Structure 1
Amino acid sequence: MIYFVSRHEGAVEWIKQQPQWQVDCFVRHLDPAVVQPGDVVLGTLPLHLAAEVCARGAAFYFLTLAQTEAGRGSEYSVNDMLRLGCALQRFEVQAL
C-alpha cells in the first residue's frame, strides 16, 4: 500500500503528476497503526510519526520543497511546487 500524507491540495495534485508513484490512499493525517511492513508512506509527517512508520517496516519518503521562511505555511500550486524543485527523498527515521 502506498500512502500520501498532506493537507495541501497542491501537493496532492503534484504527486498525481508523478508517473513513478501510484498512490493507493490519500490522507490528511496518518494513523501509523494502519501501516504494514512493506508499505510506502510519502509526504510530510512529524518526526515521531515518521519514526513509528519506519519501525513498522514501511519506507518513508519526505516531501521536500526549497522554500523561504516567509513562504512557510503558504499554499503552493502545482506550478509553484515544480518551480521550487519539489521532490521526494527517502529517510530512515529512528527514535533514540
Structure 2
Amino acid sequence: MTIWLVTRHPGAIEWVARQGIQWDKHAAHLDPCEITAGDTVIGSLPINLAAEICNRGARYFNLSLNLPAHLRGRELDAATLTACEARLEEYIVKKVNS
C-alpha cells in the first residue's frame, strides 16, 4: 500500500507536510496505471482520473479549498492554503456508463 501525493505545487506539498501527513511517492502528474488496490492518492485530480483511481481499488483524498476568484490561477503558498480552509476530503468516484 503506497501513499501518493500528486501535485506540481510547492505550497500544496508544504501544506500536506504541515498536516503531519507522510507519503511514499510524489508525482507532479499521475499515471493511473501505477496505482494498485489499497493505495491512497492525495491531490486535486480531474474527475476521470479520480474515477480510474477508485476503480483500481485505491482511496482518493481531494485537496479542497474555498478559493476566492482573485486567487484563481495563482501559485499559492501553504499559509494561503490554510487561509482558504484547505482540507483533505475523501471521495469515491465512479464513472456511470451510458
Letter in 1 for 2:13: V
Alpha-carbon displacement from aligned partner over 1:12-63 (angstroms, at most 9, x marks no partner) = 11111111x2111111100000001000000111010000000000000000
What is the Cα deviation at residue 7 of structure 1? Answer: 1.1
Match of 2:84 in 1: 84
Q: Output aligned runs, 1:50-61, within 5 Å.
A: 50-61=50-61
**Given the two structures, how large is their TM-score scaled by the length of structure 1?**
0.95
Match of 2:25 in 1: 25
Q: Which structure 1 residue ranges, 4+ long, deviate > 3 Å from structure 2?
A: none
Percent identical among aligned pairs is 38
How many residues are treated as equivalent by the alignment? 95
- Find the aligned partners of 1:39 and 1:18 in 2 and give their Cα distance: 19
Which stretch of structure 1 is more off in the superposition, 80-89 or 66-75? Answer: 66-75
Provide the aligned C-alpha RMSD in A.
Answer: 0.8
TM-score, normalised on structure 2? 0.93
Instruction: Identify unmatched segments of 5+ residues in structure 2.
Output: none
The CA distance in 1 between the partners of 2:41 and 2:29, in whole Å, is: 12
Cα deviation, residue 69, structure 1 = 2.2
* Equivalent position amino acid for 2:66 in 1: A
Secondary structure at 2:14's aligned position in 1? helix
Residue 3 of structure 1 is matched in structure 2 by: 4
Q: How big is the shift at 1:73?
A: 1.5
